[in-house]
Chains A and B, each alone.
Chain A
Amino acid sequence: MNPLDRRQFVRNLGVSATTLPFLVGLPSLGLAKTAPRRQRLVVMFSPNGTIPKNFWPDATGNEFELKEIMKPLAPFRDRMLVLNGVNNKLKGDGDRHMRGMSCLLTGIELFPGNIQGGSDTPAGWAKGISIDQEIKNFFQSREATRTRFGSLEFGVGVSDRADPWTRMSYAGPNQPVAPTDDPYQMYQKLYGQLRDRDSLLSVLDTVRDDLKRVSKKISAEDKRLLEEHAGFVRQMELEFGRSDGKALVSDPPKFEAGVTNQNDNVPRLSRMQIDLMVNSFVNDFARVSTLQYTKSVGQARMNWLDIKDGHHGLSHESDKNEEAVDKLTRINKWFAGELAYLAKRLAETPEPGGNGSLLDNTTIVWTNELGKGNSHTLSNIPFVLIGNGMGFQMGRSLDIKGVAHNRLLMALAHGVGHNIDAFGNKSLSQGGSLELS
Chain B
Amino acid sequence: MKVGLNQNGRPDVKINVRLAITKLDQALGLLLAFSVVASAAWAKPALSGEAIYANRCAKCHGDTGQGVADEYDEPLVGDWPVEKLVRVITRTMPEDDPKKCVGDEAQQVARYIFDAFYSPEAQARNNPPRIELARLTNRQYLHSVADLIGGFIGRSEVGQAGGLKASYHNSRNHSRNKQTFERTDATVDFQYGTGTPAPDNKEFKAEEFSMRWSGSVLAEETGEHSFIVSSENGVRLWVNDMNLKLIEGWVSSGELRELTGTVRLIGGRAYPLRLDFFKYKSQGASVKLEWHPPHGARQVVPARNLSPTGTRSVFVLRQPFPPDDSSAGYERGSAVSKRWDEAATLGAIEVANLVADRLAPLAGTAPEDAQHEAKVRAFCNRFVERAFRRPLTPEQQQFFIDSRFADGKPLTNSVKEVVLLALKSPRFLYPDLGQADSHAVAARLALGLWDSLPDDELLRAAEAGRLGTPSQARQQAMRMLRDPRSRAKLRAAFHHWLGLDHAGEIAKDTERFPGYDKPLEADLRTSLNLFLDEVIWQTAGADFRKLLNAAHLPLNERLAGFYGAQRVEPLGEFAPAFFDHDRAGLLTHPYLLSLYSYHNSTSPIHRGVFVTRHVLGRSLKPPPEAVEFSDEAFAANLTMREKVTQLTRADACMTCHGIINPLGFTLEQFDGVGRLRKSEKGRPINTVSDYLTADGDTVRLASAGDLARHAAASPSAQKGFIEMLFNQVAKQPLRAYGSGVLNRLCNEFAASGFNVKFLLAEIAVVNALHGIDTAPPSERN
* Chain A complexes with chain B: yes
- Chain B residues contacting A164 (CB-CB under 8 Å) are 251
Contact A235 B338 (CB under 8 A): yes
Which of the listed residues A114, A124, A214, A225 has the most CB atoms from chain B within 10 Å of its own CB?
A114
- Supposing A199-B416, A257-B410, A257-B412 touch, asked if A18 and B346 sit within 8 A by C-beta, the answer is yes
Contact A257 B133 (CB under 8 A): no
Q: What's the least CB distance linking B465 to chain A, in Å? A: 22
Q: What's the least CB distance linking B718 to chain A, in Å? A: 32
Closest partner residue, chain A, to B426 (CB atom): A214
Segment 312-366 of A: residues with Cβ below 8 Å from B: none
Which of the listed residues B334, B337, B349 has the most CB atoms from chain A within 10 Å of its own CB?
B349
Contact A115 B251 (CB under 8 A): yes
4 additional contacts, CB 8 Å, given A112-B254, A210-B427?
A: A111-B253, A199-B420, A225-B133, A229-B336
What's the Cα separation between A305 and B740 when bound, in Å? Answer: 82
Contact A203 B426 (CB under 8 A): no
Interface size on A, residues (CB 8 A): 46
Contact B252 A207 (CB under 8 A): no
Segment 385-400 of B: residues with Cβ below 8 Å from A: 399
- Supposing A114-B254, A196-B353 touch, asked if A236 and B341 sit within 8 A by C-beta, the answer is yes
Segment 205-260 of A: residues with Cβ below 8 Å from B: 206-207, 210-211, 214, 217-219, 221-222, 225-226, 228-229, 232-233, 235-236, 257-258
Contact A236 B281 (CB under 8 A): no
Verify if B314 is at the interface (C-beta below 8 Å from A).
no
Closest partner residue, chain A, to B412 (CB atom): A257
- Supposing A199-B417, A203-B421, A214-B426 touch, asked if A122 and B342 sit within 8 A by C-beta, the answer is no
- Chain A residues contacting B9 (CB-CB under 8 Å) are none
Contact A232 B336 (CB under 8 A): yes
Verify if B224 is at the interface (C-beta below 8 Å from A).
no
Verify if B280 is at the interface (C-beta below 8 Å from A).
yes
What's the Cα separation between A122 and B253 when bound, in Å? Answer: 9
Segment 165-224 of A: residues with Cβ below 8 Å from B: 174, 188, 192, 196, 199-200, 202-204, 206-207, 210-211, 214, 217-219, 221-222
Closest 8 CB pairs of A and B: A222-B133, A124-B253, A232-B341, A111-B253, A18-B342, A258-B367, A114-B280, A113-B253
Q: What's the least CB distance linking A161 to chain B, in Å? A: 8
Verify if B218 is at the interface (C-beta below 8 Å from A).
no
Contact A200 B353 (CB under 8 A): no
9 contacts between A and B (CB under 8 A): A114-B279, A116-B172, A162-B248, A203-B421, A210-B426, A214-B433, A226-B133, A236-B341, A257-B367
Q: What's the least CB distance linking A5 to chain B, in Å? A: 23
- Chain B residues contacting A139 (CB-CB under 8 Å) are none
- Chain A residues contacting B172 (CB-CB under 8 Å) are 114, 116
Contact A203 B420 (CB under 8 A): yes
Q: What's the least CB distance linking B22 to chain A, in Å? A: 22
Closest partner residue, chain A, to B420 (CB atom): A203
What's the Cα separation between A16 and B278 when bound, in Å? Answer: 47
- Chain B residues contacting A78 (CB-CB under 8 Å) are none
Closest partner residue, chain B, to A102 (CB atom): B251
Interface size on B, residues (CB 8 A): 50
What's the Cα separation between A25 and B342 when bound, in Å? Answer: 16
Verify if A163 is at the interface (C-beta below 8 Å from B).
yes
What's the Cα separation between A174 and B252 when bound, in Å? Answer: 9
Verify if B250 is at the interface (C-beta below 8 Å from A).
yes
Closest partner residue, chain B, to A192 (CB atom): B353
From A18, A125, A225, B251 is in contact (CB under 8 Å) with A125
Contact B410 A229 (CB under 8 A): no
What's the Cα separation between A229 and B425 when bound, in Å? Answer: 11
Verify if A402 is at the interface (C-beta below 8 Å from B).
no
Verify if A262 is at the interface (C-beta below 8 Å from B).
no
Q: What's the least CB distance linking B157 to chain A, in Å? A: 28
- Supposing A16-B339, A199-B352 touch, asked if A162 and B250 sit within 8 A by C-beta, the answer is yes
What's the Cα separation between A229 and B335 when bound, in Å? Answer: 9
Closest partner residue, chain B, to A124 (CB atom): B253
Segment 10-39 of B: residues with Cβ below 8 Å from A: none
What's the Cα separation between A259 and B282 when bound, in Å? Answer: 42
Verify if B673 is at the interface (C-beta below 8 Å from A).
no
What's the Cα separation between A232 and B430 when bound, in Å? Answer: 16
What's the Cα separation between A235 and B341 when bound, in Å? Answer: 10
Verify if A19 is at the interface (C-beta below 8 Å from B).
yes
Task: Mark each residue of chain B from 329 to 367: 1 if its CB lies under 8 Å from any CB of chain A, else 0.
Answer: 000001111110111011001001100000000000001
- Chain B residues contacting A115 (CB-CB under 8 Å) are 234, 250-251, 280
Verify if B132 is at the interface (C-beta below 8 Å from A).
yes
Verify if A21 is at the interface (C-beta below 8 Å from B).
yes
Contact A236 B282 (CB under 8 A): no
What's the Cα separation between A349 and B421 when bound, in Å? Answer: 39
Segment 295-348 of B: residues with Cβ below 8 Å from A: 334-339, 341-343, 345-346
Q: What's the least CB distance linking A175 to chain B, in Å? A: 11
What's the Cα separation between A219 and B420 when bound, in Å? Answer: 26
What's the Cα separation between A419 and B253 when bound, in Å? Answer: 32
What's the Cα separation between A204 and B433 when bound, in Å? Answer: 21
From B399, B411, B417, A202 is in contact (CB under 8 Å) with B417
- Chain A residues contacting B408 (CB-CB under 8 Å) are none
Closest partner residue, chain A, to B366 (CB atom): A258
- Supposing A122-B281, A196-B353, A211-B426 touch, asked if A113 and B252 sit within 8 A by C-beta, the answer is yes
- Chain A residues contacting B416 (CB-CB under 8 Å) are 199
Closest partner residue, chain B, to A162 (CB atom): B248
- Chain A residues contacting B252 (CB-CB under 8 Å) are 113-114, 124
Contact A257 B251 (CB under 8 A): no
- Chain A residues contacting B280 (CB-CB under 8 Å) are 114-116, 122
Segment 506-528 of B: residues with Cβ below 8 Å from A: none
Segment 146-172 of B: residues with Cβ below 8 Å from A: 172
From B233, B251, B282, A163 is in contact (CB under 8 Å) with B251
Closest partner residue, chain B, to A233 (CB atom): B341
Contact A226 B426 (CB under 8 A): yes
Verify if B413 is at the interface (C-beta below 8 Å from A).
yes
- Supposing A114-B279, A203-B417, A258-B367 touch, asked if A16 and B132 sit within 8 A by C-beta, the answer is no
Q: What's the least CB distance linking B777 to chain A, in Å? A: 26
Task: Mark each residue of chain B from 215 to 251: 1 if its CB lies under 8 Å from any CB of chain A, else 0.
Answer: 0000000000000000001100000000000001011
- Chain B residues contacting A204 (CB-CB under 8 Å) are 424
What's the Cα separation between A225 and B337 when bound, in Å? Answer: 10
Verify if B696 is at the interface (C-beta below 8 Å from A).
no
Which of the listed residues A111, A188, A210 has the most CB atoms from chain B within 10 Å of its own CB?
A210
What's the Cα separation between A232 and B413 when bound, in Å? Answer: 24
Q: What's the least CB distance linking A262 to chain B, in Å? A: 13
From B254, B338, B346, A21 is in contact (CB under 8 Å) with B346
Verify if B434 is at the interface (C-beta below 8 Å from A).
yes
Contact B345 A210 (CB under 8 A): no
- Chain B residues contacting A235 (CB-CB under 8 Å) are 338
Closest partner residue, chain A, to B372 (CB atom): A258
- Chain A residues contacting B343 (CB-CB under 8 Å) are 18
What's the Cα separation between A377 and B334 when bound, in Å? Answer: 72
What's the Cα separation between A161 and B245 when bound, in Å? Answer: 11
What's the Cα separation between A229 and B340 when bound, in Å? Answer: 10
Closest partner residue, chain A, to B335 (CB atom): A225
- Supposing A124-B253, A236-B342 touch, asked if A114 and B281 sit within 8 A by C-beta, the answer is yes
Which of the listed residues A199, A214, A219, A228 has the most CB atoms from chain B within 10 Å of its own CB?
A199
Q: What's the least CB distance linking B399 to chain A, in Å? A: 8
Contact B282 A229 (CB under 8 A): no
